[in-house]
Each structure stands twice: as structure tokens, then as C-alpha cells.
Amino acid sequence: MDVMEAIKKRCSVRSYQDRSVEKEKLEMILEAARLAPSAGNRQEWRFIIVEDKNTRQRLTKAAKNQVSVSQAPVIIACCAETDNYTMTCGQLAYTIDLAIAIEHMALKATEEGLGTCWIGAFYEDQVKEILGIPKDIRVVQLLILGYPDKPCPSPKDRLSFKEIVRYGGWGN
């Protein structure tokens, strides 16, 4: 599968088979994140892999009782060990860097026949308590991962190329 095919196939999976993810596949997915670019090569990302059923159940409650969180055989808590470096453009680097690394994982997972879903609806303080994460570490997203229970639906509607791209300036 080439990158464009993975991009087209990737979708948010919210229903998973009761099947564990092979360690080799999980490690390749994590390696994709490790190789992601980051501002100033800071590499602030840290990942906690959760496969234990009881811990996944507890994280489900912290994620506003989203059933897919407990159903996924793997939850990756995507964290940042950060000094809150702000790029010249005014954006915090760690949030963008984590987003890049997470999407690298999502695309690699797609290539491996796995599904993922970004989870942003969670209470960070509860996730930190459940996973023993220090106060100075940020939990940016949860990424759930596993074998999809059913194929992805047809692609969602997207704005046209003409609606999102401007050449040379905003008014063009």
C-alpha cells in the first residue's frame, strides 16, 4: 500500500474485533511515530501503551464513557514531556508535533490492516491518575487501535480542492 492509498483508506474506527494486536505491528506503528518530524527536533512525544482490559475500562470512564475506547484492544496515551516551547508563529510546538506523530501512527496502522480513532474527549486529570502520569506531562490525545469490526464506510464528503486551495494570496 502506498501513502496515498493509506490516506484514502484511513477512517475513524469506533468498533473493533475482539482480537489482540501483534507486538510486531504495534512496534512498527510506534516506530512510525518515532520517525516523525518535530519543531527543532525536540521529540517531546511520549507514548503509554495500554492493553489491560481493566485499565481500558477505567480510561473509558475518563473518556466520557465512549464505548469504542474500552472495545479497542490497544489505547495509546499520546503525551508530551514539554517545556511549552512556542514557535515563532505563536503556536505551541508539542501539540503540532504530537499531531504529526499520531497521524503517522494512524497511517501505518491502516497499512497494517488496523483501524484507529483519535480521542480528544477525555478528562486529562483522570487519565493522568489512572496511568500514573506526572503533573508536568501533558496528555494530548488518546489513540485507540485494533482490527476493525467492519469495513470503513465510503469516504466522507470533503470540500473541493478549489474551496481549500489559494495560490499566491488569500483573495486569489
Where do the domains of the chain lie, and which CATH numbers do they carry? 3-150 (3.40.109.10)
pLDDT of residue 149: 95
- CB atoms under 10 Å from CB of 104, counted, come to 19
Lowest-confidence pick of 64-73, 124-133, 146-155? 146-155
Find residue 138's DSSP bridge partners.
80
Q: Which three cell numbers stand for residue 151?
A: 469495513
Dist. CA 33–CA 139, nearest whole Å? 16
Find residue 143's DSSP bridge partners.
76, 118
pLDDT of residue 157: 87
- The DSSP bridge pattern shows strands 74-81 and 45-50 to be antiparallel
Dist. CA 46–CA 65, nearest whole Å? 24
pLDDT of 118 strictly over 80: yes
What is the Cβ-side half-sphere exposure of residue 166, based on CA atoms within 13 angstroms?
Answer: 5
pLDDT of 30 strictly over 90: yes
User: Rounded mean pLDDT of 114-120?
Assistant: 97
pLDDT class for 107, splitting at 50, 70, 90?
Answer: very high
CB 128 within 8 A of CB 95: no
pTM: 0.95
